[in-house]
Every structure is written in C-alpha cells, then in structure tokens.
C-alpha cells in the first residue's frame, strides 16, 4: 500500500516540485534542539528605597540590584482596611475592593536609568495589556491582580475588615522578549517607581458582592470616604510596604564574556522594542433622554510609530451627580468597568482608515494563521475570587486597532506600525449606543450599557481613553551602560 502511494506521488507535478524545493526537510533526521546556555536564576524581594505609606499622588521607588538580566518583575502587596457599616446599610454588608481596583490604585509605573525615565506604564496601559493576553496568561492575572476582594460581613454600625493580597506583573515593553530584557549588571543604575492614583478607592457592597452607595442606600455609587487603610508587603514577606520581586538570570563566566562581546562589540547596542503612550484622556457627558447614538471624538497627538491602539470608556470616580443611576450586579458590573461602545472610526487627513463595530472588535487580534484571537470575549466567564467574575470589568468593550499581527509567546516578529508624524489631523470617533432607561439595567448586565439619569440637569461623567503600543529603539552605550530611547519615529 505504501508503494502505491509513493508511485502516485512520483507522477504528481506539485509533489515533485516540492521535492526539489530548498524548503524540503526530512523531520526524522535527528538533530539536537536549540539549547540555551545554563544560567543561575535568583529571586529577590526588594523593599522600597524611597517613599512611605501610599496616598494619592505619592510614589514608592525601588533601586534594582545589579544581579544580572531582569526576567520578571512582580509588584506584591497586601491591603488592610476597615470601615463601619453606615446606618443606611444592611446586615451582612461589607467593605470591598471591586473588580479592577488595581487600575484605580496605580497611576503609573516608571522604569528609570540614572534618573531618566526610559519607559512608563499607566493604569490604562495595564488594562490594555490585560486584554491582549492569551487565556493561559490571563488566568493568573485575574486571580492575583484583577479579581474582587471582600471584607468581613458585619451588622449596621459594626466594623467590616478587609485583608487581601495582590500580585501584579510589571511588563515594560522591553520585558516582552527574551532578547531585549535589561542586563542590569551592565546598565547604569536603574529604578522602578510606582505612583499611586486613589489607594483608598474602596467601596461598600452587599453580601452577594454588588457595589452599593457609600451611605448604604440610594443610587449614587461612590467610594467609602476615608476608611482606615494601609498597604503591606504580603504574607510571608518582611517589611510594612509593598515588595517588588525581581527574577534575575546570570550566566557563567564564559557565556557572560560571549554575551558582552556579541552585544557590546559596537559603540552601542540598539534594540527594537516597544513602549506605551497615553493620549490625554477626554472627559465627556451624554445628552439625557436621547434615544439615538451619540458620538465622542478625540484628537491624537502622538507622533511615534504605533503598533496598536486601545480605546475604551470608563465612568469618572468623582464629581458625579447625587441622583446618578448606576446599578451594579454582583459578578457582572463594576465601578471600574469599560462601558459599551457601538463602533470606532479612525480618520487621518480627513480620510477614513477604518470603522470597527463591537462584534468586529472581537476579531481585531489577527494572528499569522488568519484566525483572530480574543481572551476576553463577551459572555466568557473569567473566574475570580469569592465567586466574583472578572467579566464585571467588561474588558470585551476595550477596542483594539491592530496595525499588524497579534504577537504570541516570545514576543513574535515586528509585523507593522503606523508612523503618525505625517498622519495629520488624526482622530478617533467613538459611537456610543443609546442609553437605557433607569430601572432596566439588569437587561444589559453583560454589555456595560450606559443609563439615563433621574434628572436631565444631572449628567453622569465619563472619560474616553486611548493608549498606544509604540515602537522604539533602545540604545545602550557599550562603554558606560547609559541607556536611552534613541529613535521613536
């Protein structure tokens, strides 16, 4: 039977053409797979060298040790907080850090080399990163960083105490590929600095996990005012402040000599990597009792080479009207959620580049095999802590305009980028669906639809965010270890 198949193949023009191709290989010919040089791997839990208990606008700075190549960074901390259940509350209410609290805690993370900022990750960039993960990579982030944390249930007038731990992966652009991870033993002294946004942005919720008004009743959802609050280092770790764990890799003497010779034999090492850029967020309000779609436009000011754009809408934390209608549903809605977007249109020089709808957005992460990828599609249950789903963040409402292909494990090849320097008057127009009337929010718990308000004079405030994944060439001088962004366009 085998000979019949082989004889037939000899008469096939296609198969014989392939036989003569330079691409032909015989996979059964044994060859040793690629072998990485052995290395010493060490983990160090580093305490901050500057800063104290976090407050809005404050920061913690970590000096990185020169122990080799930094492969991974984990920001690990515990939250200890308590508040008294207000008179307007109910028995078994409790303090909680809602799904997505980490985005409200961290304003930005800076990587510095000799006090120069090399790369910055904003809280909005973290959200965009998490929507771009594979399901396997997304799962631990849900468990350790995104999921809701709940305090003890308590009676009215009694104290509810919250003790929770977080572990947040810190992924700068140069950490995404094994070839561009920073060699800290060769570079100038480096630091990582965390700046905080609203550390005390904790809420009151009922026994099922639905967020309530700060006074325990009403519809104006807002954070609990001034709870007792502190951040620690986490169980099993020393110190009373958050810890930055850095995983280092160091090669043997001969391999290190080869690494330095091949990387730094020229005047400087140039690495193609990426960095995040955040456009100025645009605040807006919607007209009340309008049954048609409404549009919001944002001008893009960046002039870098952009690989991908992420667009999403959030509800403002402060300055909301007292009679605002915002119904949270346990496991389905969060104060930090992304709201429903109907479509996104991108224009430059007055010409339309693309229009993408909500359903088409689920296919935005195109891969090399022609199929699209999405780990946070609507309706997919992302399990979190205490039975509360990360789907409450509505990350499926984060739109992605991807100029190239989705990069998988190992960073993947650089597939495309748009140079925004010559793309004049570049704008993104977001179309929002009609708001739903008060009292029927439960019909849209999986969509994150905006709601009409109780009074036409009071309008809920929202913010449109656009963050960009940009290409950059990072240069390290071979004689001094000085590292700078040498080329961004």
SS3 123: helix
pLDDT digits (tens, 9 = 90+) for 202-231: 999 998 888 888 888 877 788 998 789 999
**Other Cβ atoms closer than 10 A to 203:** 25
SS3 217: coil
pLDDT digits (tens, 9 = 90+) for 44-81: 999 999 999 998 899 999 999 999 999 999 999 999 99
Quick one: DSSP state of residue 424?
T
**Other Cβ atoms closer than 10 A to 200:** 19
Given this model, what pLDDT does residue 446 score? 47
> How far, in Å, CA of 176 to CA of 178, rounded?
7
Compute the mean pLDDT over every residue in the chain, rounded to the nearest whole number.
87
SS3 343: strand
> How far, in Å, CA of 361 to CA of 355, rounded?
10
pLDDT at 37 > cutoff 70 = yes
Residue 22 lies in a domain: no
SS3 299: strand
SS3 109: strand
Residue 9 lies in a domain: no
Residue 345 lies in a domain: yes
- The arithmetic mean of pLDDT across residues 293-312, rounded, is 93
Environment class of 142 (CB within 10 Å of its CB; exposed 0-12, middle 13-18, buried 19+)? buried
Environment class of 150 (CB within 10 Å of its CB; exposed 0-12, middle 13-18, buried 19+)? buried
**Which sign, positive or negative, has the C-alpha torsion 286, 287, 293, 295?**
negative
Check which CATH number belongs to the domain holding 160 and give it.
2.70.9.20
Environment class of 391 (CB within 10 Å of its CB; exposed 0-12, middle 13-18, buried 19+)? buried
Residue 137 lies in a domain: yes
Residue 294 lies in a domain: yes
Domain carrying residue 78 = 39-487
| CA 1 to chain CA mean position, Å | 56
pLDDT at 399 > cutoff 50 = yes
Residue 11 lies in a domain: no
More confident residue, 412 or 338: 338
Type and span of the H or E element at 116 = strand 116-122
Residue 13 lies in a domain: no
Environment class of 75 (CB within 10 Å of its CB; exposed 0-12, middle 13-18, buried 19+)? buried
Given this model, what pLDDT does residue 385 score? 47
> How far, in Å, CA of 339 to CA of 462, rounded?
9
**Whole-Å CA distances, 160 to 165, 174, 390:** 17, 42, 23
- The arithmetic mean of pLDDT across residues 403-411, rounded, is 76
412 Cβ contact list (under 8 Å, min separation 6) = 405, 406
Given this model, what pLDDT does residue 412 score? 75
Given this model, what pLDDT does residue 455 score? 45
Given this model, what pLDDT does residue 436 score? 65
**181 close to 73: Cβ distance less than 8 angstroms:** no
Quick one: DSSP state of residue 402?
E
Given this model, what pLDDT does residue 121 score? 97
Quick one: DSSP state of residue 451?
B
Residue 24 lies in a domain: no
- The arithmetic mean of pLDDT across residues 141-150, rounded, is 90
Residue 394 banded pLDDT, cuts 50, 70, 90: confident
DSSP labels, 235-260:
TT--SSS-EEEEEEEEE-HHHHHHHH
Q: Structurally, how many domains does the chain consist of?
A: 1
Residue 386 banded pLDDT, cuts 50, 70, 90: very low
**339 close to 347: Cβ distance less than 8 angstroms:** no
| Least confident interval from 115-129, 313-327, 420-434 | 313-327
> How far, in Å, CA of 193 to CA of 215, rounded?
35
SS3 476: strand
- The arithmetic mean of pLDDT across residues 392-396, rounded, is 85
pLDDT at 195 > cutoff 90 = yes
pLDDT at 36 > cutoff 70 = yes
Given this model, what pLDDT does residue 452 score? 56
- The arithmetic mean of pLDDT across residues 182-198, rounded, is 94
pTM of the predicted structure, to 2 decimals: 0.91
Given this model, what pLDDT does residue 456 score? 47
């Amino acid at each position: 039977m085998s000979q019949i198949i082989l004889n037939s193949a000899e008469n096939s023009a296609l198969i014989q053409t392939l036989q003569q191709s330079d691409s032909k290989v015989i996979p059964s010919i044994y060859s040793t797979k690629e072998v990485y040089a052995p290395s010493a791997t060490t983990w160090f839990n580093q305490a901050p060298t500057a800063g104290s208990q976090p407050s809005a606008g404050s920061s913690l700075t970590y000096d990185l040790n020169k122990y080799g190549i930094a492969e991974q960074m984990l920001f690990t901390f515990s939250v200890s907080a308590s508040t008294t259940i207000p008179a307007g509350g109910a028995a078994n209410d409790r303090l909680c850090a809602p799904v997505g609290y980490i985005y409200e805690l961290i304003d930005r993370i800076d990587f510095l080399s000799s006090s120069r900022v090399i790369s910055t990750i904003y809280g909005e960039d973290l959200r965009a990163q998490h929507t771009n993960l594979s399901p396997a990579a997304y799962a631990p982030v849900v468990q350790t960083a995104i999921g809701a944390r709940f305090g003890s249930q308590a009676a009215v007038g009694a104290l509810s105490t919250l003790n929770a731990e977080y572990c947040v992966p810190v992924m700068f652009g140069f950490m995404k590929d094994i070839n561009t991870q920073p060699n800290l033993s060769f570079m100038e002294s480096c630091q990582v600095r965390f700046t905080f946004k609203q550390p005390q942005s904790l809420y009151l919720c009922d026994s099922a996990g639905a967020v309530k008004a700060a006074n325990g009743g009403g519809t104006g959802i807002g954070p609990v005012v001034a709870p007792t609050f502190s951040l620690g280092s986490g169980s099993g770790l020393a110190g009373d402040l958050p810890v930055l764990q850095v995983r280092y890799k160091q090669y043997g003497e001969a391999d290190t000599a080869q690494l330095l010779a091949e990387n730094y034999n020229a005047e400087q090492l140039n690495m193609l990597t990426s960095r995040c850029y955040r456009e100025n967020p645009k605040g807006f309000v919607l007209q009340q009792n309008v049954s048609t779609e409404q549009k919001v436009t944002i001008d893009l000011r960046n002039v870098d080479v952009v690989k991908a754009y992420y667009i999403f809408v959030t509800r403002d934390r402060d300055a909301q009207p007292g009679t605002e209608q915002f119904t949270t549903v346990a496991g389905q809605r969060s104060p930090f959620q992304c709201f429903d977007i109907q479509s996104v249109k991108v224009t430059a020089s007055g010409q339309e580049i693309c229009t993408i709808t909500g359903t088409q957005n689920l296919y935005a992460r195109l891969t090399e095999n022609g199929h699209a990828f999405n780990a946070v599609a609507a309706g997919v249950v992302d399990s979190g802590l205490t039975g509360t789903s990360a789907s409450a963040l509505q990350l499926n409402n984060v739109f992605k305009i991807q100029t190239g292909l989705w990069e998988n494990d190992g960073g993947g090849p650089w597939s495309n980028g748009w140079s925004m320097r010559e793309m004049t008057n570049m704008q993104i127009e977001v179309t929002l669906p009609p708001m739903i009337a008060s009292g029927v929010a439960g019909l849209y718990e999986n969509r994150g639809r905006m709601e009409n308000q109780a009074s036409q004079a009071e309008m809920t405030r929202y913010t449109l965010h656009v963050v960009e994944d940009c290409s950059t060439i990072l240069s390290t001088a071979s004689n001094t270890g000085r590292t700078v962004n040498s080329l961004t366009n």
